[in-house]
């Protein structure tokens, strides 16, 4: 212990950054010197399972406003089965984090269909990464400016208001990584993703809503994961992606997207029905192809077509999966 105490405060705080936040906080009982060292941590991960009832709520209210780090590199709030924490509490904590130039914000909390974002959040200049799980975007202003945001993940459990989603995306001018699970509301029958800076896109469309169509315009995209499980027939306009190198496609029907992904080196196709993608496409850079099908006889024509149109193919994985396995392929 004497050797550790001989280290500077900066070094001790650096050591604490390698520990889970609750473990780092527990060091405050070691001595008077250690009492406040954890409050210099640049990364804070709070889980409601730490403390029973309203213990976490009281702890954050007591300590977050007094946190000493000039910049909060990351704030993570994972709130499960805690009825004491209200949307207004989350809103207040986000407000504090924004005032401390937060760079990464991760929220996992079901807000009872209420807004959890303060007004200063939508013009946060420091935010680089935003990950929202079970949080539904609501009351987003028409003018959003998140000039540093590069990573955005949205996994709501309720429909997203189409206008709110468009307002968020329109204010992210350097966005590179977008992952969205869409439960669309009734006012969003058509949506457009036009993001020139985007390099990675994961888009999952749930099956339980009506959709007229969508358009994807991402010319710098390098990775695409597109899962369209909607039941209603609709149009999909996917513009050319000359830099695309890897794609995962699970859509029905999927012919319309093939003209945009011919530059891929690695391609995964999940096929429920016997489809072909039409004539005139050449996958001259494709090296690794993976086909997941429901039945052996399904996609025999598709496999034959790929073998004909992929002159540089080096590896082929062909999987026949049961229904439950297929859902997770």
- The Cβ of residue 280 has, within 10 Å, a number of other Cβ atoms equal to 9
| CA atoms of 212 and 45, how far apart (whole Å) | 40
Say whether pLDDT at 326 is over 50. Answer: no
Summarize pLDDT for 269-299 with one digit per residue, the tens.
887 666 667 677 889 999 999 988 766 555 5
pLDDT at 138: 80
Q: Please, how many CA atoms are within 13 Å of residue 133, restricted to the half-sphere of its CB?
A: 9
Q: What are phi and psi of 85, to 5 degrees?
A: -90, 120
In which band, very low, low, confident or very high, does the pLDDT at 43 lie, cut at 50, 70 and 90?
A: very high
Given strand 213-217, what is the order of strands in its sheet?
190-194, 213-217, 235-238
Averaged pLDDT for residues 254-267: 79
Could you report the per-residue pLDDT of 56-92, keeping only the tens digit for each? 888 899 999 999 998 999 999 998 877 788 899 999 9
Rg (CA), the chain: 24
Q: Is residue 152 pLDDT above 60, yes or no?
A: yes
For residue 127, the SS3 value is: coil
pTM, two decimal places = 0.87
Q: Per-residue pLDDT for 252 more than 90?
A: no
Q: What is the mean pLDDT of the chain?
A: 84
Burial 9-48 (b: 16+ CB within 10 A, else e): eeebbeebeeeebbebbebeeeeeebeebbbbbbbbebbb
pLDDT value, residue 298: 53
Answer for the pair 142, 164: CB distance below 8 angstroms, yes or no.
Answer: no
Largest CA distance in the chain: 75
Residue spans per domain, the chain? 1-41, 42-135
Of 74 and 185, the one with more pLDDT: 74
What pLDDT is attached to residue 42? 94
State the pLDDT at residue 2: 62
User: Helix 55-63 vs helix 87-99: angle between axes, to the nearest 10 degrees?
Assistant: 30
Residue 132: strand, helix, or coil: strand
Positive or negative CA dihedral for 160, 161, 162, 163? Answer: negative
142 three-class SS: coil
């Amino acid at each position: 212990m004497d050797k550790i105490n001989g280290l500077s405060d900066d070094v001790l705080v650096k050591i604490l950054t390698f520990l889970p936040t609750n473990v780092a906080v527990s060091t405050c009982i070691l001595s008077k010197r250690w009492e406040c060292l954890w409050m210099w941590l640049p990364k804070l991960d709070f889980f409601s399972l730490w403390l029973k009832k309203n213990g976490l709520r009281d702890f954050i209210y007591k300590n977050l406003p007094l946190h000493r780090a000039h910049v909060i590199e990351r704030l993570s709030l994972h709130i499960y089965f805690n009825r004491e924490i209200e949307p207004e509490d989350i809103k207040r904590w986000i407000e504090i984090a924004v005032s401390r130039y937060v760079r990464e914000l991760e929220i996992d909390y079901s807000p009872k269909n209420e807004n959890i974002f303060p007004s200063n959040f939508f013009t946060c200049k420091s935010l680089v990464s935003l990950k929202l799980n079970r949080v539904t975007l609501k009351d987003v202003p028409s003018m959003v400016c998140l000039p540093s945001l590069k990573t955005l993940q949205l996994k709501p459990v309720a429909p997203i208001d189409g206008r709110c989603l468009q307002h968020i995306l329109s204010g992210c001018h350097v966005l590179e990584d977008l992952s969205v699970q869409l439960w669309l509301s009734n006012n969003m029958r058509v949506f457009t993703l036009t993001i020139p800076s985007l390099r990675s896109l994961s888009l999952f469309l749930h099956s339980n809503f009506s959709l007229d169509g969508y358009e994807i315009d991402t010319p710098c995209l390098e990775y695409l994961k597109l899962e369209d499980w909607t039941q209603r027939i609709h149009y999909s306009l996917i513009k050319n992606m000359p830099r695309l190198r890897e794609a995962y496609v699970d859509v029905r029907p999927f012919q319309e997207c093939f003209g945009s992904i011919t530059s891929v080196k690695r391609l995964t196709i999940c096929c429920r029905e016997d489809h072909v993608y039409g004539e005139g496409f050449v996958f001259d850079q494709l090296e690794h192809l993976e086909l997941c099908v429901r039945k052996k006889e399904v996609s025999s024509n598709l496999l034959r077509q790929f073998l004909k149109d992929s002159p540089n193919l080096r590896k082929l994985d062909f999987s026949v999966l049961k229904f439950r396995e297929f859902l997770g392929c």
